[in-house]
């Protein structure tokens, strides 16, 4: 049982490492919102946060929006296209809105198109030929004490 648990532990660790090796993160950023639509400045004491979205619908239908980040106090966010469910090689559209701490919300920003890059997995590692393989550890025998 202990031997099986050790093997499962190593399989879990290797799986986690393999997943991390293929993870891909991207960052989307935008300019800070400092004024209202009539160009008057946002009053002191009011804070701005952002919600970023993506969709495959160029019309930015509210029903089709997928949230990348919400209540963001910075003007960027990082995401993984695979985790978000973006189709590799397909076009997605990003949009965002600003939200004041008073609850006022901006309209959605214009759509920004992006083609989700394809991922090419790294080539498999081939073992060296037997003549160049490192020596293997002995599998049995005795240790002689000197």
Per-residue pLDDT of the chain (146 residues; tens, 9 = 90+): 444 333 333 333 333 333 444 568 899 999 999 999 999 999 999 999 999 999 999 888 888 999 999 999 999 999 999 999 999 999 999 999 999 999 999 999 999 999 999 876 666 777 767 665 555 555 555 545 55
Distance, in Å, from the CA atom of 11 to the CA atom of 45, rounded to the nearest integer, reads 53
Give the 3-state secondary structure of residue 12: helix
Q: Give residue 107's pLDDT.
A: 93
The DSSP element (H or E) to which 5 belongs, if any, is: helix 2-22
Distance, in Å, from the CA atom of 137 to the CA atom of 116, rounded to the nearest integer, reads 46
Confirm whether pTM is higher than 0.75.
Answer: no
Q: Please, what's the largest Cα pairwise distance for the chain?
A: 89
Q: What are the pLDDT digits (tens) for 87-126?
A: 999 999 999 999 999 999 999 999 999 999 987 666 677 7
Q: Give residue 40's pLDDT.
A: 94
Backbone angles phi, psi at 8, to 5 degrees: -65, -40
Give the 3-state secondary structure of residue 137: coil
Instruction: Tell which residue, 100, 99, 96, has the closest CA to residue 109.
Output: 96
């Amino acid at each position: 049982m202990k031997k099986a648990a050790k093997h499962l532990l190593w399989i879990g660790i290797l799986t986690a490492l393999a997943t991390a090796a293929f993870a891909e993160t991207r960052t989307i950023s935008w300019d800070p919102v400092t004024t209202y639509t009539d160009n008057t400045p946002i009053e002191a004491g009011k804070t701005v946060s952002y919600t970023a979205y993506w969709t495959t619908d160029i019309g930015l239908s509210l029903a089709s929006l997928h949230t990348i980040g919400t209540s963001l106090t910075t003007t960027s966010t990082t995401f993984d296209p695979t985790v978000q469910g973006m189709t590799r090689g397909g076009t997605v559209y990003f949009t965002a809105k600003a939200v004041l701490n008073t609850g006022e919300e901006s309209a959605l920003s214009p759509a920004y198109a992006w083609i989700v890059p394809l991922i090419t997995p790294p080539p498999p590692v081939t073992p060296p030929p037997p003549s160049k393989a490192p020596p293997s550890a002995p599998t049995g025998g005795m240790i002689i004490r000197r």
